[in-house]
Amino acid sequence: AETKKIAVISGDGIGPEVVAEALKVVKKTEELFGYKFETEEGLFGGIAIDQKGTPLPQETLDICKKADAVLLGAVGGPKWDSNPGELRPETGLLGIRKALGLFSNIRPAVVFDCLKEASTLKPEVLEGTDLIVVRELTGGIYFGEKLRRQGESGEEAVDTCVYNVKEVERIVRQAFEIARTRRKKLASVDKANVLETSRLWRETVNRIAPDYPDVELEHVLVDNCAMQLLRRPSSFDVIVTENMFGDILSDEAAMLTGSIGMLSSASLGEGSFGLYEPVHGSAPDIAGKGIANPIATILSVALMFRLTFGYHDAADSIERAVKEVLDAGHRTGDIAVDPSQAIGTTAMGDLIIAAMKH
Ligand code: NAD
Ligand code: IPM
Ligand code: MN
In this prediction, residues 23-50 reach a mean pLDDT of 98
Q: Distance from the CA of 279 to the center of ligand 3, in angstroms? A: 6
Measured CA to CA in angstroms, residue 113 lies from 16, 89, 326, 327 at distances of 29, 36, 10, 9
Ligand 2, closest atom to CA 137?
12
pTM above 0.90, yes or no: yes
Residue 67, amino acid: A
User: How many whole angstroms separate alpha carbon 97 and alpha carbon 90?
Assistant: 11
pLDDT value for 67: 98
Please write the tens of the pLDDT for every residue from 203-235: 999 999 999 999 999 999 999 999 999 999 999
Q: What is the pLDDT of residue 299?
A: 98
The CATH architecture that domain 120-256 belongs to is: 3-Layer(aba) Sandwich (3.40)
What's the gap in Å between 295 CA and the centre of ligand 2?
18
Q: Flag whether pLDDT at 158 surpasses 80.
A: yes
Per-residue pLDDT reduced to its tens digit, 77-127: 999 999 999 999 999 999 999 999 999 999 999 999 999 988 999 999 999
Residue 72's pLDDT band (cuts 50, 70, 90)? very high
**Cα 325 from chain centre:** 22
Give the tens place of pLDDT for each residue, 335-350.
Answer: 998 989 999 999 999 9
Q: Is 122 exposed, middle or buried (0-12, 13-18, 19+ CB in 10 A)?
A: exposed
Distance 324 CA to ligand 2 centre (A): 30
Could you check whether 1-108+261-358 and 120-256 share the same CATH topology?
yes
CA-to-CA distance for 89 and 291, rounded, in angstroms? 23
Q: Which residues form ligand 1's pocket by a CB distance below 6 Å?
A: 14, 18, 74-77, 90, 93, 260-261, 277, 280-286, 292-293, 296, 334
For ligand 1, atom 40: residue with the closest CA: 74
pLDDT band at 1 (very low <50, low <70, confident <90, very high): confident
DSSP state of 123: H
* Strands 264-268, 274-278: pairing kind: antiparallel
Class of the 1-108+261-358 domain?
alpha beta
Number of the ligand closest to the Cα of 22: 1
Find the mean pLDDT for residues 271-287: 98
- Map out the domains of the chain as residue ranges: 1-108+261-358, 120-256
What lies within 8 Å, CB to CB, of 186 at 6+ separation is 175, 176, 179, 212, 215, 216, 217, 218, 237, 238, 239, 240
Report the Cα–Cα distance between both ends of the chain, in Å, rounded.
16
Q: How does strand 238-241 pair with strand 3-11?
A: unpaired
